[in-house]
């Protein structure tokens, strides 16, 4: 398995990549690059594929289209799906011990990132081929518009090339931000941009609602103002409503509050006598990572359901099984849908909470947030927990009570919030809100940190 990973990483050397800046750009310059990257991503999502014109109206978005940034028939037909899927596959392999890598070591980290780039392009080529061969069945599975499929072999090859190149451009965008030209992670910002775009259409989208013969508007404010239907927007089945709008603000407030909560561990420094302090651990210890993995896992099932339908038609058993699995793992959106589909509400709740816990513990181990690694960091810092000898093994035993408890609790909380938000029809989807609030909060912390370094050049030289 490691040999395959090394081969993928070696091939990535032939893929053009972004170089680190020789001199660190100023903060305004980095913000400008970041803004430009997000704008270019949104522009790419509106550029139609050559040979595949979109001829019909957009249907209701699915989890795949929201979180993977997929706009069917455009350069973003695959969105960030191939990139994040490649990352999840490798993360699970490392977390499961099938790949013996220590991602805290520079060499292993380079090996991981190189293999991820190659694997992302391979996924892109495979998914693009399936789309080009059977977009008649692919499109409905992803909630896309009615798209005229490429008719000739040359058009199909052209579509595959366009989509693979689009994925490569997204890789470059992400490298630009990660390597110092911008701020944060471009892929995370793409998720926020896509969720924000979806919320904009759900709030005020003056477009005909699917299945209403143009008699209703999709956006809740457009329906209330343009049609004068203020009472009718309180609850709507399958469409944005007032309950969902209120719940959106409630969920955002709850998530911001939870992001600010901390659990403190008492520590002491033998070199400073009796002086004691506390190490803060974030209450949402796993932040939004479990929901990111769960949402993309479910979204990928929707994608592969479209691929299976493209290969063997919508009636083949594999396509039907994947479609049913994706349906019962996706929470119904809106109270009226929850009442009409109680079994789906139950199965999706169980699936999301279970997978959230699973991915939460995997992430803690893979990201070096486990008790052993944290105990090692405490010892290296010259600190200790009062009453406990400065032994990494003993410290890890004490930290297990905090870290594993926080991992379990925070994984359950973010899973429940994501599902409940969908049940009430929160805009941008429950998982989209959980991810967006976490991403925006982390971006704010990064921005504040970079701003501090800009204001104090001496501190910047110390940390660089």
CB 10 within 8 A of CB 113: no
Q: What is the pTM of this model?
A: 0.82
As a whole number of angstroms, the distance between CA 321 and CA 317 comes to 6
CA distance readout (Å), 308 to 141, 323, 353: 10, 9, 27
Bridge-based pairing of strands 276-282 and 262-268 is antiparallel
Contacts of 279 (CB under 8 A, 6+ apart): 264, 265, 267, 378, 383
Enumerate the β-bridge partners of residue 280: 264
- What pLDDT score does 57 carry? 45
- What pLDDT score does 459 carry? 59
The topology (CATH level 3) of 29-201 is Preprotein translocase SecY subunit (1.10.3370)
Question: For the chain, what are the domain ranges?
Answer: 29-201, 240-464
Domains 29-201 and 240-464 share a fold: yes
CB 216 within 8 A of CB 208: yes
CA distance readout (Å), 198 to 74, 219, 229, 260, 428: 16, 10, 22, 26, 6
- What pLDDT score does 411 carry? 92
CATH number, span 240-464: 1.10.3370.10
Enumerate the β-bridge partners of residue 276: 268
CB 445 within 8 A of CB 438: no
Each residue's pLDDT tens digit in the chain (464 positions)?
A: 667 778 888 888 888 888 888 888 888 999 999 999 999 999 998 888 887 665 444 445 666 677 777 777 788 888 888 998 888 788 777 766 677 777 667 787 888 888 899 999 999 998 888 777 766 555 554 555 545 566 678 888 888 999 999 999 999 999 999 888 998 889 889 989 988 888 888 888 888 877 777 788 888 888 888 888 888 888 888 888 899 999 999 999 999 999 888 888 777 665 555 556 677 888 888 888 888 888 878 877 877 787 787 677 777 888 889 889 988 998 998 899 999 999 999 999 999 999 999 988 888 887 778 888 888 777 776 666 666 666 777 788 878 888 888 899 999 999 999 999 999 989 988 888 988 998 898 898 888 888 887 777 765 665 55
Among candidate residues 296, 300, 298, 316, the one with its CA nearest the CA of residue 308:
316
CA distance readout (Å), 89 to 82, 84, 96, 293: 11, 9, 11, 10
Number of Cβ atoms within 10 Å of the Cβ of 410: 24
- What pLDDT score does 386 carry? 66
Contacts of 321 (CB under 8 A, 6+ apart): none
Residue for token digits 């302090």?
A: 277
As a whole number of angstroms, the distance between CA 155 and CA 148 comes to 12
- What pLDDT score does 451 carry? 85
As a whole number of angstroms, the distance between CA 413 and CA 353 comes to 8
Contacts of 297 (CB under 8 A, 6+ apart): 88, 355, 359
Among candidate residues 370, 377, 379, the one with its CA nearest the CA of residue 399:
370
């Amino acid at each position: 398995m490691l040999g395959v990973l090394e081969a993928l990483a070696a091939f990535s050397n032939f893929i053009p990549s972004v170089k680190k800046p020789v001199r660190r750009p100023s903060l305004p310059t980095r913000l400008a690059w970041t803004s430009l990257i997000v704008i270019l991503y949104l522009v790419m999502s509106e550029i139609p594929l050559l040979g595949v014109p979109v001829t019909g109206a957009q249907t209701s978005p699915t989890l795949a289209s929201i979180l993977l940034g997929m706009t069917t028939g455009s350069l973003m037909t695959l969105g960030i799906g191939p990139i994040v899927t490649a990352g999840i596959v490798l993360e699970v392999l490392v977390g499961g011990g099938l790949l013996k890598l220590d991602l805290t070591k520079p060499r292993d980290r380079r090996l991981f990132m190189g293999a991820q780039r190659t694997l992302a392009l391979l996924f892109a080529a495979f998914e693009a081929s399936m789309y080009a061969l059977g977009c008649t069945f692919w499109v409905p599975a992803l909630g896309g518009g009615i798209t005229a499929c490429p008719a000739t072999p040359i058009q199909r090859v052209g579509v595959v090339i366009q989509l693979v190149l689009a994925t490569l451009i997204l890789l470059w965008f992400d490298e630009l931000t990660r390597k110092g030209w911008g701020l944060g992670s471009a892929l995370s910002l793409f998720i926020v941009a896509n969720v924000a775009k979806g919320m904009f259409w759900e709030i005020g989208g003056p477009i005909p609602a699917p299945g209403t013969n143009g008699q209703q508007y999709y956006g809740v404010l457009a329906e209330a103002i343009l049609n004068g239907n203020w009472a009718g927007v309180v609850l709507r089945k399958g469409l944005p409503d007032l309950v969902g709008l209120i719940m959106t603000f409630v969920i955002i407030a709850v998530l911001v509050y939870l992001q600010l909560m901390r659990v403190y561990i008492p520590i002491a420094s033998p070199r400073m006598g009796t002086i004691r302090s506390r190490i803060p651990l974030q209450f949402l210890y796993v932040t939004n990572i479990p929901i990111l993995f769960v949402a993309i896992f479910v979204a990928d099932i929707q994608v592969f359901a479209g691929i299976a339908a493209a290969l063997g038609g919508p009636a083949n058993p594999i396509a039907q099984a994947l479609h049913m699995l994706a349906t019962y793992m996706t929470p119904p959106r809106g109270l009226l849908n929850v009442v009409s589909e109680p079994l789906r509400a139950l199965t999706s709740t169980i699936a999301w909470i279970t997978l959230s816990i699973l991915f939460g513990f995997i992430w803690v181990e893979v990201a070096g947030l486990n008790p052993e690694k944290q105990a090692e960091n405490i010892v290296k810092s010259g600190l200790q927990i009062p009453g406990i000898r400065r032994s990494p093994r003993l410290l890890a035993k004490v930290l297990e009570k905090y870290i594993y408890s926080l991992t379990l609790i925070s994984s359950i909380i973010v899973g429940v919030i994501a599902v409940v938000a969908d049940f009430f029809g929160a805009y941008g989807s429950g998982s989209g809100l959980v991810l967006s609030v976490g991403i925006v909060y982390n971006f704010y912390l990064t921005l504040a940190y970079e701003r501090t370094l800009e204001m104090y050049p001496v501190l910047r030289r110390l940390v660089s």
